[in-house]
Amino acid sequence: MSGPASQRPTGIWDLVDRALDLDGATRIHLSIGRPPMVRLADRSLRPLDETMPPLTYQTVQFMLSQVVEPERWEGFERTGEGEIQLAEGGGGRRISLALFRSSEAWSAVIHL
């Protein structure tokens, strides 16, 4: 039996939904040691949600595993980077994910 929904790790789509509710959100940045950050159209960068804790290695891995197929992940592991299209939203808006590894930890940018 699993715990309450509030104990469930935040996923990529949870972050995308929150960001799309903000006026001018263009990107979400995921980096270990920082909470998810959102880049706005005015080029400012701020936490997506002030209540979210800094991301851990495990949290980032969980989020990426939700959207990257295992076969694609193998290629990303070899090259240390990659990009996938997550969805095509209304008005032809594409949501994509760029990821890269440095010092064995993965970071990602979700383009909204």
The amino acid occupying position 74 is: E
- Find where tokens 């949501």 sit: 95
pTM (predicted TM-score): 0.86
Q: How far apart are CA 105 and CA 58, in angstroms?
A: 10
Write out the chain's pLDDT in tens, 112 residues: 344 444 556 889 999 999 999 989 999 999 999 999 999 999 999 999 999 999 999 999 999 999 999 999 999 999 999 999 988 765 667 899 999 998 879 999 999 9
The residues spanned by each domain of the chain are: 5-111
In CATH, the architecture of 5-111 is 2-Layer Sandwich (3.30)
DSSP summary character for residue 52: P
Q: How many other β-carbons are positioned within 10 Å of the β-carbon of residue 8?
A: 10
- Rounded to whole angstroms, the maximal C-alpha distance in the chain is 45
